[in-house]
Chains A and B, each alone.
Chain A
Amino acid sequence: MTAAPTVNVVAAEGPASARRSQGAIAALARNPLAVICAGYLFLLLVALAAAPLLAPYSPNAEDLTHVLAGPSARHWLGTDQLGRDVTSRLLYGGRSSVIDVLVATGTFLLAGIPLGLLAGYLGGTVDRIVSRVANVLFALPAIVILLMVVAIFPNDDPVAMVTLGIIASPGLLRVIRGTTLAIRQELFVRAAQLSGLRTATVLRRHVLPSLAGPILVQGSLFCAGALMAESGLSFLGLLRPDSTGPTWGNMVADAANVLGQDTWLLVPTGGIIALTVMAFSLLGDAVRDATVGRSIGSVPLARQLTKPSAAVVPQSSPRGDDLLAIDGLTVTLGDVRLLTNVSLTVRAGEAVGIAGESGCGKTITARAVLGLLPPGGRVAGGSVRFGGEELTTLTERQLNRIRGAGIALVSQDAVSSLDPTYTVGSQLCEVIRHHTGASRRAARQRAVELLATVRLAEPEAILRLRPHQLSGGMAQRAGIAIALAASPRLLIADEPTTALDVTVQREVLELLGDLRRRLGMGLVLVTHDWGVLAEVCDRAVVMYAGEIVEEATIDRLCLTPRHPYSAALLAANPQLASPGRPLPVIPGRVPAPSAWPAGCRFAPRCSRATPECTAQPVQLDAGVRCVHPVTAEVDA
């Protein structure tokens, strides 16, 4: 690698990280809670700094004629048992608290940041030693160490606060180490290393800026904790003696002593500690939200649930013998259309395939039937009827009647579709009992039968296994058994064999075909594999870029595909390849849903495309959506 591209990489990252931090500041400024907290803390600091100017009285000026007076125009927050003005005492008392918190926080940062950086950046032995020591420190009951130090150095605030900072620093150290480790992996740091910059320079220029967020978060939260600890120690009388003046903590202690006579004094003294701790905590949280982003894992479950679609106008009347009738289904995710006008029917006992490349909407179609769209996805039009009942207008709760019992789903990745913490038997019995109300014993009996039905040997033993103890094929059979648990009338299998090896694939397919014939279930099989389609299905639709481009019986589709996309998919099937010839591939890739072309969506990749193809949307005509369908005569 030469120096030039390295510089480019670094230069390109510079503005990006600057933009990131500007974005975080803007996000903070938009968060009203963060603005209030930051404003409060700023005003508090100014007020404490200006205490000699602002305080109406001297903090120690006693007025024995006005003891324990409540709030008044003369004493805004009242007076204490010696008639001293509470407002003035809070202003002066806060000064020592703030200095203590600053000492503790300074120590916390000075101990945590450099060690965390070193451990994360250098790795190896340094990392191991630092991490071990940090782990032990982290597990220490910090309070006894602190009390021990206070016992040895009585009434010495700085020593106590330095100790507090050191005891708490492993928490910061861990965060800094983790973040540094992650950044070190990133390209720009590696590139900068290659260009011969010194370690210190890399750390200062590239690592530290990315650490600003975590440091602010940890620092702010530590300030909250340190203020709490400081006022606690001072409440116990273990920090600077009372004679040196008020602190927030010993003012609460004073209030406690006169609690029998007056309760008001408790309010402002403890209240200001609570407010300040809260401001530090909420500010730390807000910085975290702004820098890391709030969505750590995923979307709240309530937002993933299906919302009933508005009134639906069926475009055609249902035929009596259709088990499943999807009619003109359109699905959107935000402003983007994922499916356009998809129609599909399945009769009882019929197996219908949905074929196409990844990203064509096969899985979305399958999931839309069960109301299992990704968060933000919704049915924008069309209808899904199951046994004559409209499904798109049902709520999550109403759909639960259909799910499992009427329509069951078998997913692609069998192992990750099982809850890793429960046994197969427990997950199987759970579904059986929920839908049939069977007793524990009867459910177990049925579970054994089901496992035998999906041809798992030793079903009794398998009931006791957990997902990670199963092979891929066993997990998929267990998944199918769970799907069959409540005797559904329709099974939707979404790429059920993709994750399995070839011999297991064949067995699972035979099983699905056999189950369909024996149990008379309808079957929807989503796949990109024509071998699978031909083996199991009676009929199939081919989807491209969110719409159906061809629908035909399986024989016709495999022998004389009419849409150029179907033909190309078929030709690209490895099972049809002639030995010694390269496998034909479809040039280009499926466009993203936001970039679907007008007119025929396949036109950009199609060898037969002409200007008319993209002029206007192409309608599905006699089972094919194409201006220039392939005909047997021409291509023969």
Chain B
Amino acid sequence: MVRIAIRWLVSSAALLFAVTALTFVLASLAPGSAVRAVLGANTSVTPQQCAQVKHQLGLDEPLPLQYWHWLYNLLHGSLGTDLFSGQPVTAALGTRIDASLSLIVATIVVSGLADVTVGTVSAVRGGVTGRILDTLTVFGFALPSFWLALILIEVLAVRVRLFPTTGYVALDSDPGQWLRGIVLPVLTLSAGTTAAIARQTRDSMLQVFGRDFITALRSRGLPLRVIVWKHALRNAAIPVVTTLGVVFIGLLGGTVLVEQVFAIPGLGEAAVTATTNHDLAMIEGIAFYFAILVVVVNLLVDISYAVLNPKVRVAV
């Protein structure tokens, strides 16, 4: 357990450093954008004004020093100021986390259950059934999320008024409306994840089916259902959980498009707005939030390894 914790701390530190340093270096490639943001794009700017703003923002300092200041502020709970709204970045993003997390967590739950079932059935049945299921999952993956979102809105929100077309209601203000609001976005995101999870489940299950204890379980007269869903699935679960972690990271990207189409005020939508506005401080902040989410998910994945396969607890 201690070794897992140490390994996680080291890899998390590496990841957070990589994300922040990378975004910082990228931002330094375009020092003009921050200045433009402060002075406004259309005003004619004198070099003196420009230098003055640069100095105010600390952009005339050497890059490592700037990074140090940024880290120092971060440790004191500040991610800088959004140059457009003048709001602290943490305040601007803090309210958006729960919308994005709602979508991502619900998608992981929905597609996790559905895709693991599909992958398992494909592994058990094989043959034509397996091939049809495998091809269907690719079909789900191939639908561009922004397109699928538009189709779902048109069919299930405009023609049949089952769900709201756009918008988001926080869970704690009205759970019912929250649920209705996230159904279509979650469906959209889930379609894209089917291929990865279902396929990993299938491959991993097939490998388990070749192991001795499966025959031993059959020799004990246990029904197929128990052998597949209780024994084989747990043994096949570790690579599937790894894939769920990778899918989670991918979903951070998925929310960018889906939140845009459904007008959901989450981190992804903020990322698009910030990109359009060349608002680098904001994107740095979003990158940091995303990296934190990845680090937390990695920890959850590591913990579930230990729960699923007790050997890991001893061996790793």
B204 to chain A, nearest CB (A): 8
User: What residues on B are CB-neighbors of A435 within 8 Å?
Assistant: 221
Question: Which chain B residue has the least Cβ–Cβ distance from A248?
Answer: B144
Report the nearest A residue to B143, measured CB to CB: A274
Give the residue name and chain of the A residue nearest to B249 (CB). Answer: A141
Q: How distant is B219 from chain A, measured CB to nearest CB, in Å?
A: 4
Whole-angstrom distance between the alpha carbons of A411 and B219 in the complex? Answer: 10
Would you call A277 and B144 a contact (CB within 8 A)? yes
Residues of B within 8 A of A255 (CB): 150
CB-nearest residue of chain A relative to B256? Answer: A143
- B220–A145 CB distance below 8 A: no
Knowing A238-B275, A238-B276, A435-B221 are in contact, say whether A136-B15 is a contact too (CB < 8 A). yes
Quick one: given A152-B280, A403-B218, A421-B234, are A304 and B209 in contact (CB under 8 Å)? yes
Q: Is the CB of B218 within 8 A of A252?
A: no
Q: Is A263 an interface residue (CB 8 A)?
A: yes
Instruction: From the candidates A231, A252, A409, A416, name the one contacting B213 in the complex (CB within 8 A).
Output: A416
Residue A468 CB within 8 A of the other chain: yes
Whether B146 contacts A252 by the Cβ 8 Å rule is: yes
Q: Which of B123, B203, B209 has the most CB of A within 10 A?
A: B209
Taking a contact as CB atoms closer than 8 A, the residue among B208, B216, B234 that contacts A417 in the complex is B216
Bound: A414/B308 CA distance, A = 22
Whether, in the assembled complex, A87 has its beta carbon less than 8 Å from a beta carbon of chain B, the answer is no
Mark the stretch among A63-71, A332-340, A394-402 that contacts chain B.
Answer: A394-402
Q: Is B87 in contact with chain A by the CB < 8 A criterion?
A: no
Q: Pick the residue among B125, B209, B235, B257 that contacts A235 (CB under 8 A).
A: B257
What is the CB-to-nearest-CB distance from B22 to chain A, in angstroms, rounded to a whole number?
Answer: 7
CA distance A141 to B271 in the complex (A): 12
Which listed residue (B142, B213, B216) contacts A224, Cβ 8 A? B142
Q: Which residues of B contact A228 (CB under 8 A)?
A: 144
**Contacts of A154 on B, CB cut-off 8 Å?**
278
Partner of B151, one of A266, A277, A299: A266
- Residues on A with beta carbons closer than 8 Å to the beta carbon of B220: 403-404, 408-409, 431, 434, 482-483, 485
Give bound CA distance, A435 to B223, whole Å: 11
Instruction: Indicate whether A303 sits within 8 Å of B127 (C-beta atoms), given known contacts A139-B249, A281-B138, A400-B222.
Output: yes
Cross-chain contact A434 with B294 (CB below 8 angstroms):
no
Of B26-34, B49-57, B66-74, B78-86, the stretch lying at the interface with chain A is B26-34
Interface set, chain B 239-275, CB cutoff 8 A to A: 249, 252-253, 256-257, 260-261, 268, 271-272, 274-275
A220 to B72, CA, bound (A): 44
24 contacts between A and B (CB under 8 A): A135-B11, A139-B249, A143-B268, A144-B19, A147-B271, A148-B283, A149-B26, A232-B256, A238-B275, A252-B147, A256-B150, A259-B153, A270-B144, A277-B141, A296-B203, A296-B206, A298-B207, A301-B228, A305-B224, A403-B221, A409-B220, A413-B212, A417-B213, A420-B235
* Chain B contacts for A76, CB-based, 8 A: none
Cβ-based interface call for B117 (8 A) = no
**A152 close to B27 (CB less than 8 A):** yes
Q: State whether the Cβ of A300 lies closer than 8 Å to any Cβ in chain B.
A: yes
Given A278-B138, A468-B311, are A273 and B234 also a contact pair (CB < 8 Å)?
no
User: How far is it, in angstroms, between the C-alpha of A402 and the C-alpha of B222 when the chains are bound?
Assistant: 11
Binds A, one of B91-99, B107-115, B181-189, B285-293: B285-293
Shortest CB-to-CB span from B107 to chain A, Å, is 15
Which residue in B134, B222, B231, B252 is a CB contact (below 8 Å) of A434? Answer: B222
* Contact among B130, B154, B207, B219 for A403, CB-based, below 8 A: B219
How far apart are A537's CB and chain B's nearest CB, in angstroms? 21
Q: State which of B142, B249, B275 has its C-beta within 8 Å of the C-beta of A274.
A: B142
Output the nearest chain A residue to B271 by Cβ-Cβ distance: A147
Q: Once the chains are docked, how many angstroms separate the CA of A147 from the CA of B153? A: 26
Chain A residues with CB below 8 A from B275, complex form: 147-148, 150-151, 238
B315 to chain A: closest residue by CB: A468
Once the chains bind, are B257 and A236 in contact (CB under 8 Å)? yes
Q: For residue A152, which residue of chain B has the nearest CB?
A: B30
Contact indicator A152/B33 (Cβ below 8 Å): yes
Question: A116-149: which have CB < 8 Å to B?
Answer: 132, 135-137, 139-145, 147-149
